[in-house]
């Protein structure tokens, strides 16, 4: 389990990291090799939550839910891969921008609130992560891979991931919208949870993203008109 002291991330570096990965073009993104720092932050938080849940379950038999919906993400065998490694694998093959991981965390929190009997454990964390990241990517990004590709990255069959996505959406009540204020509050939550000194400043990117997308759209319209006039 990663500790806050082992994650020495400077605010300036984290801000730069988020912007460079979120808004660079496809050609530059293909060349990117460094994992976004927010992945380490999220991995640490999820790992601590999972460890706490498993400790409670070990000491309290009533903490183990028997409800089928609370075990929807359970797998038969616990994957032999750390949360950090799994998130790094997802990023390596999908290049989803840093805001996707923040939105995925929003979804995980909402899912847990909507399903009080659900607990993040080693048996369900990997499937939960690939599902929420895929759904978050569809919400945040303009272009996305097919479910079959995400299934390959996550180590599942396409049918399994399709079913998990459908179950997740219904159990969430299709509450997927994340506005800027919610996004910012979860960035602050990640900062408080991981850094005892509050040193993590995850950049507030959704508003900036909207502005950049609007500007790019205007530039495309201008270029299109320019070609027509020529």
Tokens of 46: 């999820």
44-72 per-position pLDDT tens digit: 889 888 888 888 777 665 555 566 566 78
Cα–Cα nearest to 94, from 102, 86, 105, 83:
86
Percent of the chain with pLDDT over 70: 63
pLDDT of residue 8: 47
* Residue 81, pLDDT above cutoff 70: yes
205 with 183, same domain?
no
Residue 124's nearest CA partner among 158, 75, 171, 169 is: 75
Question: What confidence score (pLDDT) does residue 190 get?
Answer: 74
Query: Rg for the chain (alpha carbons), in Å?
Result: 19
Is the pLDDT at 198 greater than 70, yes or no? no
pLDDT of residue 103: 93
pLDDT tops 50 at residue 230: yes
Same domain, 75 and 158: yes
> Predicted confidence band at 131 (pLDDT cuts at 50, 70, 90)?
very high
**Residue 203, pLDDT above cutoff 80:** no
Q: How far apart are CA 45 and CA 191, in angstroms?
A: 10
* Segment of 2-6, 118-122, 224-228 carrying the highest mean pLDDT: 118-122
Tell whether 152 and 186 lie within a shared domain.
yes
At 225 the pLDDT is: 57
Note the pLDDT of residue 129.
97
What is the average pLDDT across 102-106? 93
112 and 221 in a single domain? The answer is: no
Which tokens go with 22?
């979120």
Contact 62, 117 (CB under 8 A): no
- 3-state SS track over 73-142: CCCCCCCCCCHHHHHHHHHHHHCCCHHHHHHHHHHHHHHHHHCCCCCCCCCCHHHHHHHHHHHHHHHHCC
Same domain membership, residue 224 and residue 140: no
What is the total count of domains within the chain? 2
Q: Could you report the per-residue pLDDT of 152-197, keeping only the tens digit for each?
A: 999 999 999 999 999 999 999 999 999 988 888 888 777 776 554 4
pLDDT at 60: 66
- pLDDT the model gives residue 25: 47
In a domain, 3, yes or no: no
Split at pLDDT 50, 70, 90, the class of 218 is low
Query: How high does pLDDT run on average in the chain?
Result: 76
Q: Which two tokens stand for residue 203?
A: 């950049």
94 and 191 housed in the same domain: yes
Residue 55: give the domain boundaries: 34-198
Two tokens, residue 129: 């992560």
Q: Which residues contact 56 (CB under 8 A, 6 or more apart)?
A: 63, 119
Q: Are residues 182 and 221 in the same domain?
A: no
Top-confidence residue, 102 or 216: 102
109 and 222 inside one domain: no
Q: What is the pLDDT of residue 200?
A: 45
Do both 156 and 113 map to the same domain? yes
């Amino acid at each position: 389990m990663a500790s806050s002291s082992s994650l020495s991330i400077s605010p300036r570096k984290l801000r730069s990291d988020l912007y460079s990965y979120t808004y660079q073009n496809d050609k530059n993104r293909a060349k990117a090799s460094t994992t976004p720092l927010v992945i380490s932050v999220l991995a640490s938080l999820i790992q601590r939550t999972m460890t706490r849940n498993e400790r409670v379950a070990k000491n309290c038999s009533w903490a183990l839910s028997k409800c089928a919906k609370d075990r929807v993400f359970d797998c038969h065998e616990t994957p032999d891969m750390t949360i950090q490694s799994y998130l790094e694998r997802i990023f390596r093959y999908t290049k989803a921008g840093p805001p996707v991981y923040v939105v995925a965390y929003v979804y995980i929190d909402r899912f847990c609130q909507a399903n009080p009997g659900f607990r993040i454990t080693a048996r369900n964390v990997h499937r939960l992560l690939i599902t929420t990241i895929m759904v978050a990517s569809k919400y945040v990004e303009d272009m996305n891979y097919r479910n079959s590709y995400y299934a390959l990255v996550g180590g599942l069959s396409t049918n399994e991931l399709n079913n998990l996505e459908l179950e997740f959406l219904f159990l969430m009540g299709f509450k997927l919208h994340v506005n800027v204020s919610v996004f910012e509050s979860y960035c602050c939550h990640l900062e408080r949870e991981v850094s005892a000194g509050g040193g993590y400043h995850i950049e507030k990117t959704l508003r900036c993203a909207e502005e950049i997308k609007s500007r790019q759209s205007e530039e495309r319209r201008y270029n299109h008109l320019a070609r027509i006039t020529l």
